[in-house]
Chain A
């Protein structure tokens, strides 16, 4: 399937998202509370000298362990120092210490991560090795050693701790940079002649920014906790008030004055909690905006037809379509789009004898009959987005029915609705799907499970992503056969080997034991075909089975499908965008556009005389067998020489 067209709704969302992360945080109650708390904390740290009623280090013997009162709002500690003043100044030093660790970690980690991720080579291996070493070092031991050698200094120990924390940033930045480094737009910028510094600042930093901010909040919390821990153990500079040293002091008097523990303990706990919550909220907000981008493929499938129709309109006319019009096109169900005239389906008559397959056998009884099928997706606002409308088709035993159309025409949606495997939110909203007399549109999930695999088989477009990388190919073939056909393990293995041989795999045993990544795409598709026919299905649904394959491999897979279809006398629905594939394999074809079938009939008749305007336009766009460009006209090159 050609690539999906742009999803418009997330585009608008993203635009809105770019406005401001900050504003979003304010709208989130948890984020708002965390921000207010941290804001107050920073303010009290800055204005500590103005707010504090007394000097934090002035001891007064009269006030030793004084209770809270007018002179000491929060009481006094074991040396008679004012607790409130100490708490305010401690906030100052604790925050500054944590900030120092954070800045050191971020500067080292981000810069090293950028260089290692972007330029790679020797710096990559050296810095990755160093990062591993730092992570393996027990932080507290290093800090103890540093204190023993360098003396008690909070700033020094926090700077050292920053170095120890830097791998957290390094690994994060390294991972995101190496992910973007090979993006085509970075290559394009390089070809455009941008210097490395410019590429980094324009294309790379934007990607790194968000995760670094989130990580910073996390790291700040850790730094505060560690800093408090060090001071609590008495390793810090006792002349500097900090939450840790207050805790240390209070701990000594825990039996006589347990209240003294409350203030530093709650300051540490609340700050760490606020930072962690803030980090979580930021991640939620940032990833929510990134969400639709990541899930684009699925969401697009879900919303394929109308969205792409809008895009289609714009490519056809190359006209400017305003945002408003696009949105309208999205919201309108295909049927009632203003200005669109729904032409009746052009039906080419069957030959007198009901038609024969390419192998010359007459078709059997009717297997599948789809009538007036409509498929829609529930929207958050309660409306339904219609992606397939009024589609009718039938497949007889031994007949290959092609569904052809461009991306977003609803061909895949139609195929999926027969399997009842529509993505979340999608459902058959009208019409009937009757398979061997049973109505699939209203069958229960249990009934469908019985049919899928056993009576109706499926071949997907991307062979690789449809094999589980963590199991051998053999086990993935054997398992369904044991469940569906009730075979023993030995019987199923034997049958699987036979099938692998049947689909033309040269060394079945080796492929049977192999993992999916050990075989080529063409082989993987053969394996999936073997799996699809393993339970003798009556109907095979093939969704672009050769699109991901090379031309020569495609030809082999098409031959294989043709042979198997004739041998097992299956009915087949073949979804494709390639007219060559239709010409090769199909007996009948339905041309789809914007969720509807516009023309249907026997393949030869449609290829010989297409009647619908859209079908004609598609045929006109085919390049095969067209005129070659011919030799370069010399006059043109001479003109070139004169320039």
Chain B
């Protein structure tokens, strides 16, 4: 196996709490995972589990107070703003909310040109690149002169993906990129993610609360709970035959879209909860 693209080791993220001498809030309590080039690592967890924080730590948007984040072997956890900016062509992001991740007062072209200007790409070349980016994400070229408001959720998410692709990064942190989308749109955007990965060999850190989405996209999956990774391994294994009690609960909590099997799952879940409750009682 080739070398690791991203290696997260015992990362701790703490947010200060207002008030004199209050202990800071630990959003991540020593988290480790790694991503290989061209791989999708899924990160599942519920709200407050720290999954988004881990994504933001990789992006340099969260304060890392312990551990290290190695990108191609170099620690990127404590870079200053200038060094961080140099990383922009390596690590990019697609956020969850397609409604606030695009500046409403800029046209699509202005939004897509933005990362290119950082690399001092000439205006003419930049607009040519914009058209090819729109093409890559399946949007018409006429989209360039429009405002974000004129697009649906799915289309905006395509624009956000195009912006992430603009600098041809090796890793994209995807923070719940399909959660706000309708079912059929969601499926199409996920296909786009896969297609781009197969074409460009980019790696994804794919954050989601939806086990099914993560299962569909990820080669390997990590499950987070209360700021820690509780289960980590092969995607199929973790999402279909989980071993950790929390992952098992999570797995059985998602209702199956089939009344017959859902009845079965409900019974399984109740039995599991009873068992786990008993164990907790014994312990």
Residues in chain A within 8 A of chain B (CB atoms):
2-3, 5-8, 10-11, 14-15, 18, 183-185, 187-196, 202-203, 206, 293, 308, 311-312, 314-316, 318-320, 358, 406-407, 521, 550-555, 558-559, 577-584, 603-604, 607, 617-632, 634, 636-641, 643
Q: Which residue of A187, A358, A582 is within 8 Å of B61 (Cβ)?
A: A187
What is the bound-complex CA distance between A72 and B281, given in angstroms? 101
The reply to whether B183 and A577 contact each other, CB–CB distance below 8 Å, is: yes
Bound Cα distance A643, B240 (Å):
34
- 9 smallest CB-CB distances across A and B, nearest first, come from A193-B88, A580-B255, A579-B257, A311-B152, A628-B236, A192-B115, A555-B253, A184-B101, A550-B46
Partner pick for A640 among B143, B201, B212, CB 8 A cutoff: B201
Structural contact, B153 and A8, CB atoms closer than 8 A = no
Partner of B183, one of A187, A319, A552, A618: A618
Do A192 and B152 touch (CB < 8 A)? no
- Interface contact A2-B182, CB-CB below 8 Å: yes
Q: Please name the residue on chain B nearest to A310 by beta carbon.
A: B152
CB of B11 within 8 A of chain A? no
The residue on A at minimum CB distance from B166 is A192
Shortest CB-to-CB span from B275 to chain A, Å, is 16
- In this complex, what residue of B is CB-closest to A631? B219
* Docked-complex contact B155 and A315, CB < 8 angstroms: yes
Sample of 7 A–B contacts (CB below 8 Å): A6-B151, A202-B114, A293-B104, A554-B255, A577-B182, A626-B215, A640-B37
Contact partners of B139 in chain A: CB under 8 A: 318
Among B40, B92, B163, B256, the residue within 8 A (CB) of A583 is B256
In the assembled complex, the Cα of A327 lies from the Cα of B115 at a distance in Å of 33
Q: Return chain A residues, CB-CB under 8 Å to B226.
A: none
* Min CB–CB distance B273 → chain A (angstroms): 9
Is A3 within 8 A of B153, CB to CB? yes
Which chain B residues numbered 5 to 47 have a C-beta less than 8 Å away from chain A?
A: 36-40, 46-47
What is the CA–CA distance of A607 and B263 in the complex, to the nearest angstrom? 14
CB-CB under 8 A for A2 and B149, given A551-B209, A579-B257, A641-B37: no
The secondary structure that dominates the A interface is helix
Q: Is B230 an interface residue (CB 8 A)?
A: no
Closest-by-CB residue of B relative to A620 is B187
Question: CB-CB < 8 A to A551: which residues of B?
Answer: 46, 209-211, 250, 253-254
Q: Which residues from chain A contact B218 at a C-beta distance below 8 Å?
A: 628-629
Our pick among B152, B166, B253 for the contact of A6 (Cβ within 8 Å) is: B152
- Give the shortest distance, in Å, between A594 (CB) and chain B (any CB): 13
Q: Are B91 and A191 in contact (CB under 8 A)?
A: yes
Name the one of B89, B93, B211, B216 contacting A188, with C-beta atoms under 8 angstroms.
B93
Contact yes or no, A628 B239, CB < 8 A:
yes
Among A308, A315, A406, the most chain B Cβ lie within 10 Å of the Cβ of A315
Bound state CA distance, A584 and B255, in angstroms?
A: 6
B189 to chain A, nearest CB (A): 10
Q: Which residues of B contact A630 (CB under 8 A)?
A: 219, 235-236
Q: How far is the CB of A179 from chain B (nearest CB, A)?
A: 11
Proximity bits, B179-203, A CB within 8 Å = 1, else 0: 0111111111010000000100100
Does B65 have its Cβ within 8 Å of any Cβ on chain A? no
- Provided the pairs A582-B257, A637-B39 are in contact, do residues A621 and B100 lie with their beta carbons within 8 angstroms? no
User: Which residues of the partner chain B approach A5 to less than 8 Å between Cβ atoms?
Assistant: 152-153
Nearest chain B residue, comparing its CB with the CB of A579: B257
Chain B minimum-CB-distance residue to A555:
B253
Place the interface of chain B in its size category: 35 or more
Q: Would you call B271 an interface residue if the criterion is a C-beta within 8 Å of the partner chain's C-beta atoms?
A: no
Please report the C-alpha to C-alpha distance between residue A185 and residue B98 in the assembled complex, in whole angstroms.
10
CA distance A630 to B163 in the complex (A): 28
**Of the candidates A191, A293, A622, A636, which one forms a contact with B59 in the assembled complex, judged by CB atoms under 8 Å apart?**
A191
A3–B249 alpha-carbon span in the complex (Å): 28
A624/B152 in contact, CB under 8 A = no
Q: Could you tell me if A185 and B257 are in contact, using CB atoms closer than 8 angstroms?
A: no
Known contacts A581-B255, A604-B260, A637-B36, then 9 further A-B pairs from the complex at CB < 8 Å, ordered by chain A residue: A185-B101, A187-B101, A191-B61, A192-B115, A196-B81, A577-B183, A583-B261, A630-B235, A640-B37
CB within 8 A of A623: which of B92, B187, B250?
A: B187
B231 at interface, CB cutoff 8 A: no
Q: Could you say which of B149, B160, B257 contacts A7, with CB atoms under 8 Å apart? A: B149
Which A residues lie within 8 Å of B215 (CB)?
A: 623, 626, 628-629
A584 partner residues in chain B, CB cutoff 8 A = 255, 259, 262, 266
Q: How far is the CA of A627 from the CA of B255 in the complex (A)?
A: 17
What string of 1s and 0s marks CB contacts (under 8 Å) between B220-248 and chain A? 10000000000000111001100000000
A604–B249 Cα gap in the complex (Å)? 26
Contacts A184-B100, A626-B216, A637-B39 given; indicate if A192 touches B255 (C-beta within 8 A).
Answer: no
Docked Cα-Cα span, A618 to B198, in Å, equals 26
Chain A residues with CB below 8 A from B185, complex form? 315, 406
Q: Is the CB of A552 within 8 A of B180?
A: no
Would you call B103 and A11 a contact (CB within 8 A)? no
Task: Tell me which residues across on chain A come within 8 A of B150, comparing CB atoms.
Answer: 6, 8, 11
Contact of A637 (CB < 8 Å), options: B38, B81, B140, B217: B38
Taking the complex as formed, is B213 at the interface, i.e. its CB lies under 8 A from any CB of chain A? yes
Provide the bound-state CA to CA distance between A187 and B220, in Å.
Answer: 27
- On chain A, the residues within 8 Å of B59 by CB distance are 187, 191
Contact assessment for A318 and B219 in the assembled complex, using a CB-CB cutoff below 8 Å: no
Which residues from B are CB-within-8-Å of A637? 1-2, 36-39
- Greatest chain A CB density within 10 A among B86, B163, B166, B253 is at B253
Known A-B contacts A11-B147, A637-B2; the reply to A628 vs B216 at CB < 8 A is: yes
* Cβ–Cβ < 8 Å partners of A6 in chain B: 148-152
Which single residue of chain A is at the shortest CB-CB distance from B190?
A623
Question: Are A555 and B269 CB-contacts (below 8 A) given A626-B215, A628-B240, A637-B37?
Answer: yes
Which A residues touch B72, using CB under 8 A? Answer: none
Instruction: Please tell me which one of the listed residues B149, B183, B257 contacts residue A406 in the complex, with CB atoms under 8 A apart.
Output: B183
Q: Are B219 and A191 interface neighbours, CB within 8 A?
A: no
> How would residues 71 to 108 of chain B score, 1 for a CB under 8 Å from any chain A CB and 0 otherwise?
00000000001000111110111011111111111100
Contact between chains at B201 and A193 (CB < 8 Å): no
Collect the chain A residues with CB atoms within 8 Å of residue B183's CB: 406, 577, 579, 618, 621-622
- In the bound complex, residues from chain A placing their C-beta under 8 Å from that of B266 are 559, 584
Contact B259 A583 (CB under 8 A): yes
B278 at interface (Cβ–Cβ under 8 A)?
Answer: no
Q: List residues of chain A with CB within 8 A of the CB of B235.
A: 628-631
- In angstroms, how far is the closest chain B Cβ from the Cβ of A545? 13
Q: Are A184 and B97 in contact (CB under 8 A)?
A: yes
Chain A residue with minimal CB distance to B249?
A552
Docked-complex contact B138 and A318, CB < 8 angstroms:
yes
B100 / chain A contacts, CB cutoff of 8 Å: 183-185
A320: chain B residues within 8 A (beta carbon): 140, 142-143
Task: State the CA gap A312–B152 with chains docked (Å).
Answer: 8
Asked whether A552 lies within 8 Å of B149 as measured between CB atoms, the reply is: no
Partner of B149, one of A10, A190, A618: A10
Distance, CA A489 to CA B269, complexed state (A):
40
Q: Is the CB of A636 within 8 A of B184?
A: no
Partner among B47, B106, B114, B210 whose Cβ is within 8 Å of the Cβ of A192: B114
Q: Which residues of B contact A192 (CB under 8 A)?
A: 88, 92, 114-115, 118, 163, 166-167
